Amino acid sequence: MSLGEYEKHWKSVVSQSVCDYFFEAQEKAADVENVPPVISTPHHYLISIYRDKLFFVSVIQTEVPPLFVIEFLHRVADTFQDYFGECSEAAIKDNVVIVYELLEEMLDNGFPLATESNILKELIKPPTILRSVVNSITGSSNVGDTLPTGQLSNIPWRRAGVKYTNNEAYFDVVEEIDAIIDKSGSTVFAEIQGVIDACIKLSGMPDLSLSFMNPRLLDDVSFHPCIRFKRWESERVLSFIPPDGNFRLISYRVSSQNLVAIPVYVKHSISFKENSSCGRFDITIGPKQNMGKTIEGITVTVHMPKVVLNMNLTPTQGSYTFDPVTKVLTWDVGKITPQKLPSLKGLVNLQSGAPKPEENPSLNIQFKIQQLAISGLKVNRLDMYGEKYKPFKGVKYVTKAGKFQVRT
């Protein structure tokens, strides 16, 4: 929750009292996550996002695309994260002048100015301990005094004159499985949200082509602006001059129509007895369609009904916690070894006298599989043109659970 408030006005000054409407809405929502993102007040509209336990609120006077505002707010949060290593109240407070300078650079009269982190970093240098020491000795400043090179070229995302001694290009193919599994274990809904994040440290103006073994999988893709759409349309090759550093190259969705493999199954039995203050809880997790890879980093989170007072459980592996205030049960399972399936069973203590809960809790499951893209996507090759050196190249695959829910 944000205690301090910081404001920045671009066009005209809006009285701080407008925020009262927001605080009102915030109080009304039972949970901070349930504050509606668009709130109307008699004279303004408040568009907000909730990130890293902070609210970013913008006040709008005229008709603007709200998505544009929300995207911008997320970009601001990303930038803070990028600059200060974390996006927290303390970080903002410690860097309030840089924050102010950044905001001024990012938006002008309601028009976004420079939102690419590459360009911002040329205009305003991120704080480092070393730099602040140097600055205080030499009297130089955090603000760059030359026009950022990428600002106006046809490739606004890349600055000129990039130089590395080790030239490297790494790609992470990260796939998240979003799924809803019903009581009986059949899949109600499943899809894969994939991204390819790149870390490119290449000198000069490299022109890259990335091709896949099975590009047909990618029929719903969002591209970074650097990608040449026509090449993709005609040849199914990602051709681009990359930004410098870390960026998201593409994100894609493999929808439920294609078969989405579900790598784990859960056997569960959660029951509450009528007119008794206890219930039974028993879940077991096992591997399924895991393509022979180890499933690790498994965590199970369950929001238990309100009438649950406490839980007395025994895990066969890992450890569990139950928070009696939020009623959240978290079981940190770890790895699945197929020889002995991890399970968690025991008793549930209910508030005595209260009616037995109607709803059965959903299980939220997290897991990770290294070296596997569950959709089967595989990078074929990466070629570089335009520069003479030979870069190091690497691709890593990982599959994770996204919003993976099992109903009981």
Q: Which of 20, 24, 53, 68 binds other proteins (CB under 8 A)?
A: 68
Checking DSSP bridges between strand 392-406 and strand 168-181, what pairing results, if any?
parallel
CB 314 to other proteins: min, Å: 26
Q: Residue 259 and residue 184: Cα distance in Å, rounded?
A: 19
CB 165 to other proteins: min, Å: 30
Is 353 within 8 Å of 242 (Cβ atoms)?
no
Residue 405 found at the interface with other proteins (CB under 8 A): yes
Site for other proteins in 196-225 (CB under 8 A): 219-225
Q: Which of 36, 324, 338, 386 binds other proteins (CB under 8 A)?
A: 36
Number of amino acids touching other proteins (CB under 8 A): 106
Residue 400 found at the interface with other proteins (CB under 8 A): no
Residue number, 250 or 379, with CB nearest to other proteins: 250
Alpha helices by DSSP H, listed for 229-383, are 229-235
Q: Residue 378 and residue 169: Cα distance in Å, rounded?
A: 16
Residue 168 bridge partners (DSSP): 201, 392
**Crossing angle of the two packed helices 96-106 and 66-84, in degrees rounded to 10:** 140
Site for other proteins in 357-386 (CB under 8 A): 358-360, 362, 364
Residue number, 122 or 333, with CB nearest to other proteins: 122
Residue number, 249 or 344, with CB nearest to other proteins: 249
CB 177 to other proteins: min, Å: 12
Residue 324 found at the interface with other proteins (CB under 8 A): no
Residue number, 245 or 291, with CB nearest to other proteins: 245
- Residue 227 DSSP label: B
Checking DSSP bridges between strand 207-212 and strand 237-240, what pairing results, if any?
antiparallel
Site for other proteins in 284-323 (CB under 8 A): 303, 305-306
CB 148 to other proteins: min, Å: 8
Q: Please classify residue 234 by burial: count the beta carbons closer than 10 Å to its beta carbon, then call 0-12 exposed, 13-18 middle and 19+ buried.
A: exposed
Number of residues written out for the chain: 408
Nearest 5°: CA angle at 342, between 338 and 344? 160
Site for other proteins in 74-133 (CB under 8 A): 74, 90, 93-101, 104, 108-112, 115-116, 129, 132-133
Q: How many C-beta neighbours within 10 Å does residue 340 have?
A: 9
CB 337 to other proteins: min, Å: 29
For residue 216, give the amino acid letter.
R
Site for other proteins in 126-185 (CB under 8 A): 129, 132-133, 136, 139, 141-147, 151-152, 154, 156, 178, 180, 182
- Nearest C-alpha neighbor of 207 from the set 377, 391, 378, 379: 391
Q: Which of 20, 24, 28, 38 binds other proteins (CB under 8 A)?
A: 38
Residue 60 found at the interface with other proteins (CB under 8 A): yes
Residue number, 294 or 301, with CB nearest to other proteins: 301
Half-sphere exposure of 403 (CA within 13 A, CB side): 5
The stretch near other proteins (CB under 8 A) out of 200-208, 250-258, 332-340, 381-389 is 250-258
Structure tokens at 349: 């203590």
